[in-house]
A and B are shown apart, each in its own frame.
Chain A
Amino acid sequence: MTRRGGVARAVAIVLWGLLVFECRQVRENELAARRLFGPAIGHEVIAGRADDEAGRTWLLAGERTLISIDLARAGVSRHPLQVGDASCWGLARLRDGTLWTLKGRSTVIGIADSGEVVREIPLGAPHFGVFASDDRLIVQPADFQPPAPLLFAARVDDARRVAWGDLRSRSFPLARASVAALNMLTCGVGRHGEHPCWFPDEAAVSLMNSDGRVRKVALEGLEVVPPEVLLTADNPARPVRDAYVDDTGTIWVLSSGRPLAGAEDQPGGWILARYSDGGVRLGVQRLKESARLILRAGSGRAVLLTGGGMVAEVVP
Chain B
Amino acid sequence: MKSLRFILICLVLFFIIFPLFMMTKYSVSDRESIVTGGKYPEPFFPFSPTLEMFRALSARNDFVGAGFTSLWVGLLAVAFSLFLGAPTAFALARFKIPGLAVLLFFLLSVRLFPDISAVIPVAELLLSRPFSLLPPVVLVGLAHTLLALPYTVYIAKGVFESIPRDLEEQAHVLGAGKARTFLKILVPLALPGLGAAAIYTFFLSWNEFIFAYFLTFQGTETTLPVYLLRILAWSPQKNFISAISLVICIPVIVFTFLVQRYMKEGLTAGAVK
Partners in one complex: no
Residues of A in contact with B (beta carbons under 8 Å apart): none
Residues of B in contact with A (beta carbons under 8 Å apart): none
